[in-house]
A and B are shown apart, each in its own frame.
Chain A
């Protein structure tokens, strides 16, 4: 006990970065590693909750306008390319699986497994963005732009205009999250190449993958709202 107190007073502050490098020592203000892991996981879940509410505001807005412009929204949904939307859903769900496989590989201590799974995830993520870009270009070709720039002759009127403004805002924000997630996964892959994710300690990988799952889950809600309707 006295030794503990002595250590507490004398030891200089350890940089928190030190901890993420696969060290098995907790950061200074935690007593045990388990306590620290519990804290970082809880923190991540809270962050994801706030992200859900960020998108929730847009979903709320969508609901409000859909009630106001039933017909126009339904027509606009039909205009969207259901094939690309559905393929993209499959792409993201698959990428979630490969991301989860990376965590599984880390638990088994397979560095190669982590790298391959993350590589697949990155490729699928880039594929998603590429398909999204093609879709945007199709829209632009048809005169479908957000806001005041909107000049589609096929779907005139305020309702369709609002639908596509929300569409661009929602999918654009989601695409930004995809880019963020891919950046995080790329960094985690670099760390994996240096052997930083050990079977005992791979919190950063778990958190990054958790974030990627959120990106996937949000898309699962965007998909029916923007592509699927009778």
Chain B
């Protein structure tokens, strides 16, 4: 990392950054600043990750031996349900949009804030409320229907399903609020001269995600509300004894929850697009290919929900159609993967921690994606359905993809968020540990699933033992890696050396403001006429103007005004 340019230090002294502009608990809890809201979300989603991770470890400990190890079958059901619910609805869906989307979107658009700052703060409290409801069910006896809430089990199970359903409904509200806010922000708050085709690719990813959030989340909300109300008042809408059809629930559920997978992966792809350009010091091999394939995935994602239901009673024609439509997602994803890879060509690549995570992402995404095409083939899916093969598949692509991108973003933008540098060596070692752990957790599960081990069972025949031991070992390494990452960043937060404004020499817009940025993001409006990927130009262009203008609070003359 390079040292700070002196003028900026002067500027920082006279204009405190957003972290120091105000102090006291109330200045945080009542803030409208998108950056502070992003940090509050950062704390909340990381706690969710920790909680979901603890449940995962409990599961892996239980599966260490073929018969009962530490918990009963019903405790196991509750543990995997809460692992799934917490990870999906409280970590993976909100994580990247609420943390990095909130923090970076206005910076990348040259705006002072998101369009509706109060709505933004409200979405945080709604998130807390939804999480609270969900966690309350844990104290009230736990829920045991799995994160998919399949009826009629979910409407008849004696466990506390209703609070989880309501909790996820409320979390959905928070998600809609965030998505709505981001769409409006992108449409109305772009700086002068910033056209759609100059938006940083992360913005495209977040924009596509937001569309899915606004369009799909209400349907999930309604399905879960029906399940919850069904339990409270015995509606019987999905209950076969009252004439209801459980398969209809699955249709409604997956109409949201399949696009939800893209809510998780599209922002991750946005981060990856930014990281690869910055660390290869190259513009993307094709800007439009990456931008439009995000929209393509968002669109096709709405037409693929049936591939979750190949064995739930569906005609062969429907299965075939859903299978083929699902494979379209692979085409768009392949476009992205090939474009990222082509971006590396003839680049001057820096192997820093975020770049390492880029490679982990690429591996997990390609491997998970290929197995995705395999399970979209309906004849093969009959064999793999509800086995560990599917568990391994979606952990590779959905969890692996999102988690590695989230960690890449956390390291890449750490200097932006906090103005400090983390230890590169420690970060890299943690990163390698995370990937090793992840690989050994889930690779054996592909083999287990293919050998026929069903998911959601707390015991298994002897012949699956060694692969399960391997998987549990991998999970322990993964836990160590994540804790080590947390420690690395915590130490950096407390004692890391101060960073310069643009430590990675990126050309993207968010680095044009100070690191960390002042409360209103830019002391002077930077030049948004140039591209955020103009690596072919000398480094000083644009940057020099920002630095030179900053100290006296004087604006650089910009053609727009």
Q: Which residues of A approach B to under 8 Å, CB–CB?
A: 1-2, 5-6, 8-9, 13, 16, 28-30, 35, 38-39, 42-43, 46-47, 49-51, 53-54, 56-58, 60-61, 64-65, 68-69, 146-149, 157-159, 161-162, 165-166, 169
Contacts and interface: CB of A to CB of B under 8 A. Distances in A.
A58 B255 CA distance: 13
Nearest to B33: A13
Most chain B beta-carbon neighbours within 10 Å: one of A13, A35, A50 = A50
B555 A50 contact: no
A57 B222 contact: yes
B363 interface: no
A95 to B, nearest CB: 25
A50 B176 contact: yes
A92 B302 CA distance: 33
Contact of B553 (A9, A50, A57, A161): A9
A50 B218 contact: yes
B530 interface: no
Contacts of B537: none
Given A158-B243, A159-B243, A169 B226 contact: yes
Contacts of A13: 32
Given A16-B117, A50-B214, A61-B237, A39 B188 contact: yes
Given A9-B15, A147-B233, A1 B561 contact: yes
A26 to B, nearest CB: 11
A61 B248 contact: yes
Nearest to A5: B555
Interface stretch (B43-51, B107-115, B282-290): B107-115
Given A49-B214, A146-B235, A161-B243, A43 B115 contact: yes
The majority secondary structure among interface residues of chain B is helix
Given A53-B218, A54-B219, A147 B187 contact: no
Contact of A54 (B119, B218, B251): B218
B218 A42 contact: no
Interface in B227-265: 229-230, 233-237, 242-245, 248, 251-252, 255
A153 B245 CA distance: 23
Given A29-B113, A61-B252, A147-B242, A5 B176 contact: no
A166 B237 contact: yes
Given A39-B189, A147-B233, A162 B217 contact: no
A16 B188 contact: no
B449 to A, nearest CB: 32
B223 interface: yes
Given A53-B215, A64-B251, A146 B233 contact: yes
29 contacts: A5-B523, A5-B555, A8-B520, A9-B15, A29-B111, A29-B113, A29-B117, A30-B189, A39-B115, A39-B184, A39-B188, A42-B187, A43-B116, A43-B119, A46-B184, A53-B218, A54-B219, A54-B221, A57-B252, A60-B251, A61-B252, A65-B245, A65-B248, A68-B245, A148-B242, A161-B236, A161-B243, A162-B242, A165-B235
Contacts, number: 134
A147 B252 contact: no
Closest 5 CB pairs of A and B: A158-B243, A57-B222, A54-B218, A147-B235, A148-B234
Contacts of B236: 147-148, 161-162, 165
Contact of B523 (A9, A30, A38, A166): A9
Contacts of A56: 218-219
Nearest to B220: A57
Contacts of B245: 64-65, 68
A128 B218 CA distance: 26
B180 A46 contact: yes
B428 interface: no
Contacts of B243: 69, 157-159, 161-162
Contacts of A16: 32, 117-118
A47 B242 contact: no
A6 B181 CA distance: 28
Nearest to B252: A57
Nearest to A35: B188
A29 B112 contact: yes
A53 B211 CA distance: 13
- Is chain A's interface secondary structure helix, strand, loop, or mixed overall? helix
B189 A162 contact: no
A158 B183 contact: no
Contact of A57 (B218, B229, B233, B244): B218
A36 to B, nearest CB: 8
Nearest to A148: B234
Nearest to A57: B222
B112, B119, B216, B218: which has the most chain A beta carbons within 10 Å? B218
Contacts of B217: 50
A50 B215 CA distance: 6
Given A5-B553, A39-B115, A165-B236, A60 B15 contact: no
Contacts of B181: 43
B554 interface: yes
Given A28-B112, A61-B252, A51 B237 contact: no
Contacts of A65: 245, 248
B219 A47 contact: no
Contacts of B248: 61, 64-65
A56 B230 CA distance: 19
Interface string B540-561: 0000000000000111010001
B524 interface: yes
Contacts of A28: 112-113
A60 B248 CA distance: 9
Given A61-B252, A68-B245, A42 B523 contact: no
Contacts of A64: 245, 248, 251
Interface string B186-221: 011100000000000000000000000011111101
A68 to B, nearest CB: 7
Interface in B293-324: none
Given A30-B189, A64-B245, 20 more contacts: A2-B555, A5-B523, A5-B553, A9-B523, A13-B32, A29-B114, A38-B188, A42-B183, A43-B181, A50-B214, A51-B218, A57-B218, A60-B252, A61-B237, A61-B252, A68-B245, A147-B237, A148-B242, A157-B243, A165-B236
